[in-house]
Amino acid sequence: MNPIPGASHFHPRLPGRSGIAAMLLLVSSCSILPATENLEIYQLPAAEFAPRSSGSPLPWTLRLATPHSNYITDSPRVLALRQGSQLSSYKGIRWSDPVPVLLRNRLAGAFRADGRFNSIINGNNNNLIANLELGGDLSAFQVEYTNDGPQATIYFYATLSQPLRNRIVAVRRFEVGEPVQSRGTSGIITAFGVAADRFAAEIVDWTVQQGIVLQTEAKE
């Protein structure tokens, strides 16, 4: 067969071994990469703190340490306890911060709104001197499914200490549960907001009362 006049001769080149290996790797990686999950990020609903307390504040600085927690709770996942001891997370939703940080920031807002401490340090900043430090173990921040329906629960073992004296002055376990009133994500987030507000109010009152006792003892 005569060649077409004016046409250039084209001879396709097959890829070498390295090229074929690279193509196979690319196809393989495309097939095993997980699909990107569309996430909705939530903060706790706006807090409804009690009005600022009257009277002179305690002349002390309170540091709020980030609570300790286990590997599962120390994450932005929205957790659920459905059967026995089996934990899972809700698909497609996350908190704006890891849960211990989320709760610590909520407590900071509650203490500042209350105003009964002279100043509040938020976080594990040991370069700033604090008269008291509130820390503890956060063992649960999850929706628990019970016979009475789902509820947002918070379990926290609080530790109040005097860093300058290197001693613990008080401990207390806090347990708060708030029913999820409506279906869907909005009902879950709302229940957590109410539970966090109740928890913050209880721990603020307890911490202030311990501070008053310490102040009285210091004057005697």
For residue 183, the domain's CATH number is: 3.40.50.10610
Q: How far is residue 152's CA from residue 201's CA, in Å, rounded to a whole number?
A: 16
First to last CA, the chain: 116
Inside any domain, residue 91: yes
Please check whether residue 43 lies inside any domain of the structure.
no
Phi, psi of 19 (to 5 degrees): -65, -40
Apex CA 49: angle with CA 115 and CA 105, to 5°?
Answer: 80
Question: To which residue do tokens 């989320």 refer?
Answer: 102
Look at residue 10 and tell me if it is in a domain: no
Q: Could you tell me which residue, 173 or 2, shows the higher pLDDT?
A: 173
Give the integer Cα–Cα distance in Å for 189 and 197.
12
Task: List the beta bridge partners of residue 89.
Answer: 79
What is the spatial distance between Cα 196 and Cα 47, in angstroms, rounded to a whole number?
Answer: 9
Domain assignment present for 101:
yes
Report how far residue 97's alpha carbon sits from residue 126's, in angstroms, rounded to the nearest whole number. 22
Predicted pLDDT of residue 35: 52
Q: What mean pLDDT comes out for the span 116-144?
A: 90
Give the per-residue pLDDT at 10: 41
> What pLDDT score was predicted for residue 85?
83
DSSP 3-state assignment of 181?
A: coil
User: Which pairing describes strands 149-162 and 167-179: parallel, antiparallel, or unpaired?
Assistant: antiparallel
23 domain-assigned: no
Residue 102 structure tokens: 């989320």
pLDDT at 48 over 80: no
Domain total of the chain? 1
Mean pLDDT of 144-157: 95
Span 117-144, average pLDDT: 90
pLDDT at 218 over 90: no
- What is residue 16's predicted lDDT score, i.e. its pLDDT? 55
CA–CA distance, 205 with 142 (Å, rounded to integer): 24
Predicted TM-score of the model (pTM):
0.80
Is the pLDDT at 56 greater than 80, yes or no?
Answer: no
For residue 77, being part of any structural domain is answered with: yes
Compute the distance between CA of residue 169 and CA of residue 178 in angstroms, rounded to an integer. 30
On whether residue 127 sits in a domain, the answer given is yes
For residue 176, is it within any domain?
yes
Domain that holds residue 100: 56-218
Segment 4-31, tens digit of pLDDT = 444 444 444 545 555 554 444 444 444 4
